[in-house]
Amino acid sequence: MTARSQLTFQLFRWVSGMALAAGMVHGAAAADAVVGAPATLAAPPNADQIARGAYLAKAADCIACHTVDPAKPFAGGYPLATPFGTIYGPNITPDKETGIGSWSDEDFIRALHNGIDEEGKHLYPAFPYASFTKLSRDDVLAIKAYLFSLPPIQQKNLENNLPFPLNQRWILAGWNLFNFKPGEWKDDAGKSPEWNRGAYLVEGLAHCQECHTPRNLTMGVDLKRSFGGAQLGGWTAFNITPDPVSGIGGWKDEEVVQYMKTGLVPGKASAAGGMAEAIEHSLQYLSDADLKAIVAYMRSVPAISDAADKKPRYAWGKPADDDADLRGVAAVSVSSNASSGAELFSGNCASCHSASGSGVVGGYYPSLFSNSVVGAREPGNLLMVILNGVQRRGKDDEAFMPGFADHLNDAQIATLANYILKQYGHADAPAITPEVVKTQRHGGPVSPMLSLLPWGLAAAALIVVFILFSLFTRRRRNPDSPHSPRNPPK
């Protein structure tokens, strides 16, 4: 069986299983979720609970997916690009009409622990309830207390843009059968308190698996390759297992902590994209004890290696001296018609990253060699940085680089990126074509599942028809059956 045939078969099995299983369990799952935990009279939130909830909400990075306008925090509208369409983060302010102001404690707990909203409808797993289910009841209520302490903002939620049948929430009951295991985190008595705290943060509150673990055919996280790296809308969330070559085993513990606090470790990495956002909105606010706990836990997960990786991403590249060859050549700018990689680099990059590519002291403009983005075997992140730039706000500083998507065409960006890779990056990285740049410009490769979905739906329909036909035929052949048309139920 070819790889494509295997993929088709797996999708066929997934869609048919989801359609049938979801129909069988939807009523029971919804009923169980609605029952939930027994209702209790909760004490009104106090200042300590609200303060703890504010910290937990930062650790969970709630603001990232529920804020599109900084002037309206948590009012929703943020577009989450998925392989199947766009899901918009909802309003979670205490507005009773458009937000969650009418939600009870049990409603809020059910949403985080079971992925069910106050009306009993399934939430899309873009909301990481598969991770949040591990949170303690007290922590969930502290987050709610914090959110309800904020000013209500009236802003209607946007309709998700998903194709049929993925716009039918009931089908998520089938997804849950394959990918969701509800239950609060239980400490491992054989591990240290620091390890257990790190596990609680990584697996639950900070939901690191959601970005750094690849997905299976049903779009659930592939736990066999936990933290082994994954593709996210044109970006790569890198391997963060302790493998010394493919992962971050070559990083010192204090370097990992520094990266989570600042997004910058000279000679290793400078955060961009989704990781920069996670640091800006979440990780930099965690206590040193929590950051060290995260490192302690991540050092214990199974290392995942890729045989194609010959040395760490940060170990590639060296300074360049091509700038000397451009002396006497007319200066070029971002809007010029420069065609060579050296010219494009000189006109667009050298003024900040230096002619040699060594960056500036302090790392505001990082070195282009000994850089995890430039040294990656897959150039997707490098292209996304060139196209979209970098913006990362820290508590004490800010990193900014403009994107060149509006100034350079696909061919120029391909030429520039190939030059940067040749001079400073992975020696074995494949050549970048204008077509690759065009794909990255539109958010990365489209999931093959989207094109196979109609075939899966057709297969599911055929299975349903076959089952119904078999049942009908069996009843016709067995006239004595109590369910036979000759013996209708009384």
Could you tell me which of 160, 156, 159 has the C-alpha nearest to residue 75?
Answer: 156
258-305 per-position pLDDT tens digit: 999 999 999 999 999 999 999 999 999 999 999 999 999 999 999 999
Is residue 447 in a domain? no
Paired with 67 in beta bridges are 76
Maximum pairwise Cα distance, the chain: 98
Q: Do 130 and 241 share a domain, yes or no? A: no
Do 267 and 408 belong together in one domain?
no
What are residue 399's DSSP bridge partners? 392
Q: How many domains does the chain have?
A: 3
146 within domain boundaries: yes
Question: How many residues are there in the chain?
Answer: 490
Residue 155 has pLDDT above 80, yes or no: yes
Helices and strands in the chain, H and E counts: 18, 8
Asked whether residue 469 is domain-assigned, the answer is no
CA dihedral (103, 109, 114, 117) in degrees, to 10, reads 10
Rounded to an integer, what distance in angstroms lies between the CA atom of residue 267 and that of residue 116? 45
* In the block, residue with structure tokens 């930099």: 284
Report whether 235 contacts 334 (CB < 8 A).
Answer: no
Q: Does residue 155 sit within a domain?
A: yes
Same domain, 304 and 333: no
For residue 242, the Cα-to-chain-centroid distance in whole angstroms is 20
Q: Which two tokens stand for residue 124?
A: 């899309």
Q: Which of 295, 310, 325 is at the close of a domain? A: 310
pLDDT of residue 459: 59
Are 67 and 74 a contacting pair, CB within 8 Å?
A: yes
Predicted model pTM: 0.80
Residue 254 lies in a domain: yes
Smallest CA-to-CA distance from 322 within 349, 302, 290 is with 349
Statement to judge: residues 252 and 139 lie in one domain: no
Are the CB atoms for 395 and 388 separated by under 8 Å?
no
Average pLDDT, the chain: 84
Residues near 362 by beta carbon (within 8 Å), at least 6 away in sequence: none
Beta-ladder partners of 390: 401
Tokens of 81: 């690009």
Residue 303 shares a structural domain with residue 320: no
> What domain range includes position 247?
194-217+229-310
Arithmetic mean of pLDDT, 64-69: 94
Residues 254 and 381 in one domain: no
Name the more confident of 450 and 133. Answer: 133
- Better-scored residue on pLDDT, 47 or 429: 47
Q: Is residue 446 part of a domain?
A: no
Residues with Cβ within 8 Å of 178's Cβ and at least 6 positions away in sequence, in order, are 14, 17, 18, 218, 220
